[in-house]
Amino acid sequence: MKTPYETEPLFHKNLIDNLYDGVYFVDTNRRITYWNRGSERITGHSASDMVGKYCNDNILDHVTDEGRHLCIEGCPLLDTIQDGQPREAEVHLRHAKGYRVPVVVRTSPLYNENHEIVGAVELFSNNQSLFKMQRRLAELEEDAFRDPLTGLGNRRLLEVKINSALLEYHQHQIPFGLLFLDIDHFKQVNDTYGHQTGDVILQNTAQNLTRHLRNTDICGRWGGEEFIGLLYNVNIQSLSSIAEKLRHMIASSSINVNGEKISVTASIGAALARETDTLESIIERADQLMYQSKQGGRDRVTVGA
């Protein structure tokens, strides 16, 4: 049975042939029945090479970012033929010369006069500029939530994550706790050894946090020499235990400046989330607990439910 395209007037053929985007038609067996000039330009494969071949011959080898080969498994064209639903996917096709081309593919069913599906059409466009823009937007978004000195999340990210944890706690009773950490006598370090050394101390502290918190936890720089750790699924005992571990790791670390070994300590406040907590209340409580550690002699953890 002919596809609708094969019975279209010459005007429509010329129109589709001269589209900038690639367009090709397949029948219900996924045999390619039409291949426009846009397809030739984007893929490097001529119509004479492609018409009569099958898309599951895997000539284009559509691959997703995750490495899934759609021509073999999860073919949008096949799914569209089977259920009549249009599809869209971002993939990387294999050019005739062997390199990969990022494209957006869109599939739609083809019907005969009895409204029976007799094939499908795939339209695809070179997506390189879009991919680059998306990557750049992702980088900018990441930069907006990252502290440039330590590489940790910044205050904005911490606020987002804590609000999300509060929502889960209020809706699903998933417990969490906050650690508010402040480096002891940090101004004295800066005044004595300079801001460059102070920066290294901050970076060292960030490394201790990321390496010794659990994979499920989040830490970030709140500002200055203050850091916050967001710990999921903890009780008062585990919150205290993790805080003590971090305190010890920071105190037992050191850096070398002109042959002199420099180490710092940290005062930590540890607060367990409450049902009535807001972003402001839990941070304020953890901060006040940290100040109790300062007042109690520094290099210690104060825990509060």
Distance between CA atoms of residues 225 and 194, nearest Å: 15
8 A C-beta contact, residue 39 and residue 95: no
**Mean pLDDT, all residues of the chain:** 88
State the residue for tokens 């004295």: 188
What percent of the chain shows pLDDT beyond 70?
90
**H-helix or E-strand spanning residue 212:** helix 195-212
In whole angstroms, give the CA distance from residue 129 to residue 198.
41
Question: Which fold would CATH assign to domain 4-133?
Answer: Beta-Lactamase (3.30.450)
Summarize pLDDT for 189-209 with one digit per residue, the tens.
Answer: 999 999 999 999 999 999 999
Instruction: Catalytic residue, from 225, 226, 260, 280: name it.
Output: 225
Fold for the domain defined by 145-304: Alpha-Beta Plaits (3.30.70)
Q: What angle, 0 to 180 degrees and rounded to 10, lies between the N-to-C axes of helices 195-212 and 186-193?
A: 140
Domains in the chain: boundaries? 4-133, 145-304
Here the contacts of 5-9 (C-beta below 8 Å, separation 24 or greater) are: 5/33, 5/34, 5/110, 5/121, 6/33, 6/34
Question: Known catalytic residue: 168?
Answer: no
pLDDT of residue 305: 73
pLDDT in tens, 158-195: 999 999 999 989 888 889 999 999 999 999 999 999 99
pLDDT digits over 19-34, tens only?
778 899 999 999 999 9
